């Protein structure tokens, strides 16, 4: 066995934000809170609990303030909020978010579709948020995401040099945490290994997160490629919920319970209670009003054996 597989893999659960943002059925505030509290009990150390964007843009998450103010905060869990600008950051700070996540696309076209501005304007806005956080009374960490880092549905392949340049710009601004996002599931394992290796030359593994979608069925393969290249932190969504509302064809995130199950089968520690996770995932169809894509919640774990049929016993 590869001894590197003994190193922990950290899962950041993003279903409460990235997972629910495109759901057509309104999920009640109390149900969002119960979902986050249930995730907190599963052993996660990082949960993206909501966002502070315009309710006109993402109406499904318009109750972010109420959610953050009512969740049961477990010791050792970092509750993350997505923020688009200073106004959103101010709301997130007032709601006691532990970490703010900023997003800019490597693709100019996707950034205009997603953020309604150029990449240059997004970076200028990031600087305003950095200054706000530096002057905040409480200590809050910052993370910045490079969306469409592995490909754009409008522009195609993204120059890796551009991605590395954006990462360096984030770090120079004082943003420690970096996420590379495969926003529409266009990455492949070789590409992932190459780009992760380059970025880890500038960013410590503890500060780097990979965000994969399973749009074309390569999500978990890309996780292993990134893990083998030295990455240790990954986003995932319970039940495989999610997708980008501003990227055609962007289906769900990699599924949390499928990822944790794979890690358990391979001996990679995650610190997450898979049985609790599966039980929570099985509540999702009633919550969102449709079946979800996760496989392990349907099939069970390998160790969940079945009774021997009577006709076999008779042989």
Alpha-carbon gap, residue 198 to 229, rounded angstroms? 10
C-alpha 208 chain-centroid distance: 12
Taking alpha carbons only, the member of 168, 273, 247, 211 closest to residue 80 is 211
- Beta-carbon count within 10 A of 63 CB: 20
| DSSP label of 86 | H
Q: Are 117 and 157 contacting, i.e. CB atoms less than 8 angstroms apart?
A: no
3-state secondary structure 282-302: CCHHHHHCCCCCCCHHHHCCC
Taking alpha carbons only, the member of 201, 111, 175, 106 closest to residue 146 is 106
Question: Is 244 known to be catalytic?
Answer: yes
42, 152, 244, 263: which is the annotated catalytic residue?
A: 244
Alpha-carbon gap, residue 282 to 197, rounded angstroms? 36
Instruction: Determine the straight-line distance between the first and last CA of the chain, rounded to whole angstroms.
Output: 38
Tokens in use for 46? 């990082």
| DSSP label of 15 | I
Q: Are 209 and 243 contacting, i.e. CB atoms less than 8 angstroms apart?
A: no
Active site residues: 244
């Amino acid at each position: 066995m590869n001894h590197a597989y003994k190193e922990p893999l950290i899962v950041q659960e993003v279903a409460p934000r990235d997972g629910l943002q495109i759901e057509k059925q309104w999920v009640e505030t109390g149900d969002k809170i119960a979902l986050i509290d249930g995730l907190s009990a599963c052993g996660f150390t990082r949960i993206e609990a909501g966002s502070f964007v315009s309710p006109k843009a993402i109406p499904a998450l318009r109750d972010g303030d109420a959610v953050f103010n009512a969740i049961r905060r477990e010791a050792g869990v970092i509750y993350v909020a997505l923020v688009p600008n200073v106004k959103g950051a101010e709301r997130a700070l007032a709601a006691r978010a532990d970490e703010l996540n900023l997003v800019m696309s490597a693709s100019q076209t996707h950034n205009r579709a997603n953020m309604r501005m150029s990449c240059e304007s997004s970076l200028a806005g990031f600087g305003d948020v950095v200054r706000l956080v530096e002057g905040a009374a409480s200590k809050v960490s910052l993370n910045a995401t490079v969306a469409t880092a592995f490909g754009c549905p409008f522009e195609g392949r993204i120059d890796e040099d551009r991605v590395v340049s954006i990462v360096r710009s984030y770090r120079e601004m004082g943003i420690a945490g970096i996420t590379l996002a495969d926003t529409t599931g266009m990455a492949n394992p070789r590409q992932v290994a190459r780009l992760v290796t380059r970025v880890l030359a500038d960013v410590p593994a503890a500060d780097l997160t990979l965000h994969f979608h399973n749009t074309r069925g390569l999500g978990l393969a890309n996780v292993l490629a990134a893990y083998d290249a030295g990455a240790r932190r990954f986003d995932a969504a319970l039940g495989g919920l999610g997708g980008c509302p501003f990227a055609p064809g962007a289906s769900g995130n990699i599924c949390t319970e499928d990822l944790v199950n794979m890690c358990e089968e391979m001996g990679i520690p995650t610190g997450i209670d898979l049985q609790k996770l599966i039980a929570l995932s099985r509540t999702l169809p009633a919550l969102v009003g449709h079946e979800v894509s996760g496989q392990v919640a349907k099939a069970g774990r390998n160790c969940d054996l079945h009774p021997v049929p009577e006709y076999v016993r008779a042989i």
